[in-house]
């Protein structure tokens, strides 16, 4: 027979893993989604994309960095093969993020796991990792609430930005092209604030190391490959240090 304390803990655990809680946990990131989405819509419109093309790109690609890169490559009249290959390489980091979370969803079907991975972004991954650090567990309902909220807000924001873009001829003048970088910096700061002092020192060391690797590798290869290889190398070092 469960004690009152055990019963309360079970109810609290159930609430923390619910679809509604996933929506609530996504709320702190929504300001970033809205600002970046609006910025992309403006940039996409300035790049000559129609409202339908911006909406289709947002729904199917659903990756802020890839969508900005797409606009940059379209402006330079890059061939489709170069656009596809570049975006594929840039988004390879999603394999690493999915591999990190996959062990926590083994009890769900393959189709369900494909859904988790398809809607996983840098921001939802950050939220999920933070929750893992706090509770050591993730649930499918919670992940659905987190992912779907982010996805729908992103689509809405990008389309709204496309409408706004009709009156903004030069998005770089307003710094809208830097919005994505600014959001990633904010997410990094928030995540560093949630760890202890010992782990903070290790994380800062890894950040410095990845910056050094990117600087060195960029002399021998394109920047997007330097980012990917640096991430893999330093992530491996981080795993070894944890052990």
12: number of Cβ within 10 Å: 10
Q: How confident is the model at residue 169 (pLDDT cuts 50, 70, 90)?
A: low
CA gap 194, 196 in Å, rounded: 7
What percent of the chain has a predicted confidence (pLDDT) above 90? 26
Asked if residue 224 has pLDDT above 70, the reply is: no
Asked if residue 13 has pLDDT above 50, the reply is: no
What pLDDT score does 10 carry?
Answer: 46
Place of tokens 């921001």: 123
What are the domain boundaries of the chain?
A: 4-194, 195-243
CA gap 164, 180 in Å, rounded: 18
What pLDDT score does 105 carry?
Answer: 92
Q: Are 4 and 32 in contact (CB under 8 A)?
A: no
Q: How confident is the model at residue 208 (pLDDT cuts 50, 70, 90)?
A: confident
What percent of the chain has a predicted confidence (pLDDT) above 70? 78
Mind listing the pLDDT tens digit for each residue in 47-102? 888 999 999 999 999 988 788 888 878 887 878 887 887 788 778 778 888 888 99
Buried-exposed string 55-65: b where 16+ CB fall within 10 A, e elsewhere = bebbeeebbbb
Written as one string, the DSSP assignment of 198-212 is: HHHHHHHHHHHHHHH
Of 150-154, 156-160, 164-168, which range is least confident? 164-168
Higher pLDDT, 211 or 146: 146
Of 107-116, 138-147, 231-240, which range is least confident? 231-240
Mind listing the pLDDT tens digit for each residue in 135-147? 888 999 999 999 9
Helices marked H in 3-50 — which ranges? Answer: 4-16, 19-46
CA gap 242, 168 in Å, rounded: 48
């Amino acid at each position: 027979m469960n004690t009152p304390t055990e019963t309360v803990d079970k109810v609290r655990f159930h609430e923390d893993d619910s679809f509604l809680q996933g929506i609530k946990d996504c709320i702190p990131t929504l300001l970033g989604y809205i600002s970046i989405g609006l910025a992309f819509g403006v940039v996409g419109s300035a790049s000559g994309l129609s409202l339908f093309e911006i909406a289709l790109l947002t729904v199917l690609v659903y990756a802020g960095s890839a969508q900005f890169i797409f606009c940059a490559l379209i402006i330079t009249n890059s061939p489709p093969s170069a656009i596809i290959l570049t975006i594929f390489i840039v988004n390879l980091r999603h394999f690493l993020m999915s591999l990190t979370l996959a062990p926590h969803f083994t009890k769900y079907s393959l189709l369900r796991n494909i859904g988790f991975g398809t809607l996983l972004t840098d921001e939802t991954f950050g939220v999920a990792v933070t929750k893992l650090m706090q509770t050591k567990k993730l649930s499918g309902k919670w992940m659905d609430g987190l992912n779907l909220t982010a996805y729908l807000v992103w689509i809405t924001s990008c389309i709204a930005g496309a409408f706004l873009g009709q009156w903004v001829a030069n998005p770089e003048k307003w710094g809208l092209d830097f919005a994505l970088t600014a959001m990633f910096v904010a997410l990094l700061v928030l995540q560093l604030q949630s760890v202890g002092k010992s782990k903070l020192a290790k994380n800062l060391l890894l950040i410095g190391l990845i910056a050094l690797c990117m600087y060195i590798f960029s002399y021998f290869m394109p920047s997007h490959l330097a980012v990917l290889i640096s991430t893999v190398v330093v992530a491996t070092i981080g795993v070894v240090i944890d052990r």
